[in-house]
Amino acid sequence: MIGIDWGTSSLRAYRLASDGTVLARREVRRGILTIEPGGFPDALQEVAGTWIAEGERRVLLCGMVGSRQGWVEAPYLPCPAGIDEIAAATIPVPFQGAEVRLVPGLTCRDRHAVPEVMRGEETQMIGAAAGLDGTEVTICLPGSHSKWARMERGRVTGFTTHLTGEAFAALAGHTILARMLNPSAPHHARGFARGVARAKQPGGLLHHLFGLRALSLFDEVSEEEAASFLSGLLIGHEVAAALEEGVAPPVILVGAPALTSRYAAALDGFGIPHRAAEPDVAAAGLHMIGERLP
């Protein structure tokens, strides 16, 4: 089969053997925001046409491709939901030459009835929790919109999203902090650790943000470490909030090492065990859901 994690800015395609082995992969900057209206079939043909010509007949898509701005809108599936519910809720997509289906996103409500949504991460989570079906698991997917999910017996029971990555860019680029830091400066481990340590202190995030400015006024934070301090501060506040909601260690971190290593350092700062997920969790999840399609 072919599995595709089709997000906002990029597309990752996998050709998968029947045991889930990744036979081939392609990653292209063809996120849904780059696709013209009506252009999805051509884009799929472009990235997976040769595999289809070679005989693949089943394609499973996950991610923002199932959003209102995507190919076909797949309604959010309410939690708790596991592989079986997700496979049963996939929806067919009209396409010539292969049977294409879309994985739905998930939704849940917190105890105050505020909604949550994800698209694509559910597939990565299913893959990341493979083999842990009997246990309670906490999975963290850092990013622009970081996700923390609780899974139990292979089903996502609830999750929270934090606007951490986007908040970093907005605050680093469009407040007085922009004068004292370079958002793309190399990672500075000490600055990051200082930010995490600050997040553990009282006073609140909005106060801690001004404190970074004040530290720089007194030359108590260097230009080299300021961006990492801000990153540590925001990630630290995210981790603190996630811990308050409750986690089941070790927290499984999913994502690119450049980012998950920061979350690993932050979790270390809070004394919480963690481990990295296996690579290619999206491919694993697509395979696992693909095996249970209707």
CB atoms < 10 A from the CB of 291, how many?
12
Q: How far is the CB of 203 from its own copies (least distance, A)?
A: 6
Bridge partners (DSSP) of residue 258 are none
Q: Which 8-state DSSP code applies to residue 113?
A: -
Nearest to its own copies of 16, 118 (CB atom): 118
Nearest to its own copies of 14, 76 (CB atom): 76
Q: How far is the CB of 52 from its own copies (least distance, A)?
A: 33
Q: How far is the CB of 169 from its own copies (least distance, A)?
A: 7
Task: Dihedral sign for Cα 245, 248, 249, 253, please.
Answer: negative
Q: Which two tokens stand for residue 279?
A: 């690579």
11 in Cβ contact with 39 (< 8 Å) = no
Q: Which residues of 209-244 are buried (b: 16+ CB within 10 A; e: fewer)?
A: bebbbebbeeeebeeebbbbbbbbbbbbbbbbebbe
Q: How far is the CB of 127 from its own copies (least distance, A)?
A: 23
How far is residue 222 from each of residues 198, 207, 218, 272, 289, measured CA to CA in Å?
16, 19, 10, 28, 48
Pairwise CA distance, residues 66 & 210, whole Å = 40
Nearest to its own copies of 29, 174 (CB atom): 174
- List of residues 6+ apart from 289 with CB closer than 8 A: 60, 62, 83, 86, 87, 90, 103, 123, 126
| Of residues 60, 55, 58, 65, the one with CA closest to residue 105 | 65
What residue ranges bind its own copies (CB under 8 A)? 110, 112, 114-117, 145-146, 160-164, 166-167, 169-171, 173-176, 198, 201-207, 209-211, 213-215, 217-218, 220, 234, 237-238, 240-241, 244-245
Nearest to its own copies of 112, 134 (CB atom): 112
Nearest to its own copies of 135, 201 (CB atom): 201
Q: How far is the CB of 281 from its own copies (least distance, A)?
A: 22
Nearest to its own copies of 60, 180 (CB atom): 180
Nearest to its own copies of 29, 112 (CB atom): 112
Q: How far is the CB of 214 from its own copies (least distance, A)?
A: 5
Burial of 286 (0-12, 13-18, 19+ CB in 10 A): buried
Q: How far is the CB of 50 from its own copies (least distance, A)?
A: 35
CB atoms < 10 A from the CB of 185, how many?
16
